[in-house]
Structure 1
Amino acid sequence: MWRPFGLRALRAVRVAALLDTDGGPRLPPQLPEPWRAGPRGKMVDYSVWDHIEVSDDEDETHPNIDTASLFRWRHQARVERMEQFQKEKEELDRGCRECKRKVAECQRKLKELEVAEGEGGKAELERLQAEAQQLRKEERSWEQKLEEMRKKEKSMPWNVDTLSKDGFSKSMVNTKPEQAEEESEEVREQKHKTFVEKYEKQIKHFGMLRRWDDSQKYLSDNVHLVCEETANYLVIWCIDLEVEEKCALMEQVAHQTIVMQFILELAKSLKVDPRACFRQFFTKIKTADRQYMEGFNDELEAFKDRVRGRAKLRIEKAMKEYEEEERKKRLGPGGLDPVEVYESLPEELQKCFDAKDVQMLQDAISKMDPTDAKYHMQRCIDSGLWVPNSKSSEAKDGEEAGTGDPLLEATSKSGDEKDVSV
């Protein structure tokens, strides 16, 4: 505890104030010790300092006694006395409350007997009255003991534990506000689209840089580019370049992509805005040791591999979509693919379609089982390999042709389609 003066020094000041230069008293005769007038005429009682039980740095102790240990023993003894005093005070308070409860209970019973006014209850009434009188005496005794305990507590000297009390206990710590809830996918897409439309040219310029100093200077002049939208655009650009087989340019942009991602990771670890720490990244990367540079290069190579994998998947997906679109274009009136139908035909029927010979087809069908022949010819019609009821057959014979009719006309299909015509 801080004190402006030691107790011994304060007592010396008091004594000096009471003595004149020749050792005689200085106080006026009408002011008894230890009072003297203050600067405004008020009385100041310095004797309160005599009732403070604290360790004084100026107290003299025996050379063989450790001062710190002595203070610790005194404090322990003082704490034990305070605990014992508190225990006695709680017991007195508990006894007083119990006595008051008994008095209230006795008075309640007395009122009940007075209301009853029975002859047999007279003796009980007298007993309760005597008991109530005795309880009131005990109550006064308990209250007297409590009052003495309060006076004793008030006269006890102050110590480091009772000298002051907390007026309030509250700590105020400035903390970073909680981050807002994550944005929805639609909001992020719209934000990315707006950012790219506004700064696409600047992002591409940054992606074409290579030297550390050039990148740092460009970001210093365009701080708004230090954000996640820039990194996302560079990633997509890398995949597009790989799909277009511009591998060298992809590797260049990939380098700048990893630069931006490292800046974002550094900002996340430091819990600061990326625009406030990108210079720190360039300072670190330019003076980095071999291990740090190897980590950067390893991440760069891993990113290139991921870009190549994504580009390959995109190409495969595009090829599948193209093939599916072409297949839908080839579908016949029955919804079958003529290429698939042709490949499922027996070999003798395939030869007929290859030769575009109707007579050969008639002979092949006549030799087949009628059920199989009908099945294959119906699939040829559904896929568009055969077009029944053609105008040429109508003009020649003037009658309809069925699935087994030798006058069926096979129209020629473009591309991979195989057909015959009459």
Structure 2
Amino acid sequence: MPVDYSKWNSIEISDDEDALVSKHFDKESWWRLRHQERLERMVVAKKSRNAVVKELNAAKQNITDIQAQLKCKDICKEVREDLGNQLIETEKQYKRWEEKEQELKVMEKKTPWNVDSICHVSMDNTRVNTQFRPVVTDEDSAEIPPGEFDRFMEVHGQDLLKLAELDNSKETITFLQQHTNLCRQMACDLLLVQAVDFRIAGNDKLMHKTLVQYLRLTWLLGKAASNLVAEISPSYIDAALTKLTKHVAEDSGPFISELSRLKELVIKRAEMKIKEARIQNVYDSLPPLMQEGFAERSTEKLRKAAENMSLEEFKEHMKRCEEVGLWVTSSSNRL
């Protein structure tokens, strides 16, 4: 029987004991990487904007100081002329920084929106925490210990399911205020896992709700990180998500666009997992010698397996392997 060995290159035999995360989750998924890259770009842009504002304020303060000195009547003519020259130069500097600020504002307006930049949250008061602990900690960015996702899912899995079932922003705010331990990146990752599982189960309605909650939570964490919030408190959750809801109501385009993009990715991932599951099921149902042949890519063991059973039985096994893509026929090779 002809065979194309190249198809075997994509076959993966799962080894849950060696997996660093949940067997249902690919921690290197590009969703998280894409979001992290976007946050990093936003941090760089914010630093540039803050630097311009700092120079602008410094120039403004210098102008005020020089003007105050010029009002004094006790200074000599030479000093007054020197201060006048300084004032002219400082005003030029102020104008240059003002033009730079306007350029940044124009660039920001031209920058496409995403779930991390769709709005800005401003609080009524500011509390300084001397024991500063950023939301994105070293623990979040470090290698995730083996089984950590499973343990998190065991403790918070039911809460994540309840979060996915909520219908509106107000309910989401109240629920997250009562479950602030869900305000972390691992919860976002597991919401994506749930969305894929719902798609596989044929429950597109829950998949949609789960992705909406994923976007809300991802946006909340992104804003907290970029604003250097020491701790995501119930009041911050209310202020942030209320502002997000308002902006989405005014212009839902960016949010819907991001949601549609995520849906496409989740659907593709679900189809891939279904295909992988079918391959694994067929592989598990094969006689041991055929399993060894596929695992080791050994045609010799497949020939031996064929000799140990009837031709009809062997053809039936190979037919199922072809149907799921475990075996691809080719005119260039034969068993």
- Hey, which of these two has a bigger chunk of helix by percent? 2
Q: Which has the higher contact order (CA 8 A, sep 6+)?
A: 2
- TM-score range (shorter-chain normalised) is 0.3 to 0.5
| Structure with greater Cα Rg | 1
